[in-house]
Amino acid sequence: MKNKNIVIIGGNSGIGNSVVEKLEAEGANIFSYSRSATGDFQLDVTSDFKELSGLPELIDGLVYCPGSINLKPFHRFSIEDFKNDYEINVLGAVKVLQACMKGLKKSNTASVVLYSTVAVQVGLGFHASIASAKGAVEGLTRSLAAEWAPNKVRVNAIAPSLTDTPLANQLLGNEDKKEASNKRHPLGRYGQPEDIAAATVYLLSDAASWMTGQILHLDGGMSSVKGM
C-alpha cells in the first residue's frame, strides 16, 4: 500500500479509524473525510454535494464507512426512518462514488470497499430498515463492479456481524449484552474493528487484484455456520 492514495469516508472512529491506522502503517497516503473536524476534511454525507475538496487527482482506493444501526419492530418504523437509513448508507455512497469516479479510473489498479451487514444474508428481527438499505449497497457493489471492470476498478463489500464500534454501544453496553452477543456467533465472539479493517486493507491491496463484485461475509460464522 506504500504511496497509494486512499480516500476514507468516515475515518475518524470505529472501523474507519482502524483502517486509517493500518494503512498509515503500510505507508499509504490517506485522505480522510468525516462529519466531525477530526479528519483531514469535513463532510456530511447527507448534505447535497457533487464534489469533494482536497481529492488527489489519482485515487487508488476508496472506503465508505458511514452507516447506521436503527433497530426496532417493523410497526414502529416510520417512512422517515427508512429514508434516513437509505440516505446515509446508499445515497451518501453514491454521491461519494460519483465524486471519486474520475480519480479511481485513472489508477488502473483502484479498489472500492463498501460495507453491508450480516442482516442482508440472515433474516434478523427488528432489522427491516438497515437490512433494506444494506441490501441496496450489495446491489450497488455488484452493478458497479460490472460497469467499472473495463476501467480496472474493483468494487467489493464486507458484510460484518455486530462489531464493537461507537454505533454498537447500545447493543454492547454491559457485560450481559456482550456475553449474549458472543453466544450468538459460532466462533464465540462479536467482531472488533481490527477484524474488519484487516479485510478492508486486503481488498484494497494488490493481493486482491483478481477479486471484484464480491460480498465478503466476515461475521464469526453467523451467516453460514450453525453453532453447537
> Would you write out the chain's pLDDT as a tens digit for each of its 228 residues?
999 999 999 988 899 999 999 999 999 999 999 988 666 899 999 999 999 999 999 999 999 999 999 999 999 999 999 999 999 999 999 999 999 999 999 999 999 999 999 999 999 999 999 999 999 999 999 999 999 999 999 999 999 999 988 777 778 878 988 898 899 899 999 999 999 999 999 999 999 999 999 999 999 999 999 866
Q: Which pTM does this prediction carry? A: 0.95
Q: Give the per-residue pLDDT at 228.
A: 67
Q: Give the per-residue pLDDT at 38.
A: 66
Which residues does the annotation mark as catalytic? Answer: 116, 134
Burial of 201 (0-12, 13-18, 19+ CB in 10 A): buried
Q: Give the per-residue pLDDT at 12.
A: 87
Q: Give the per-residue pLDDT at 173.
A: 75
Q: Give the per-residue pLDDT at 194.
A: 97
Q: Give the per-residue pLDDT at 172.
A: 82
Q: Give the per-residue pLDDT at 13.
A: 85
Which domains does the chain show, CATH number per domain?
5-218 (3.40.50.720)
- Cβ(159)–Cβ(217) below 8 Å: yes
Cα 97 from Cα 187, distance rounded (Å): 34
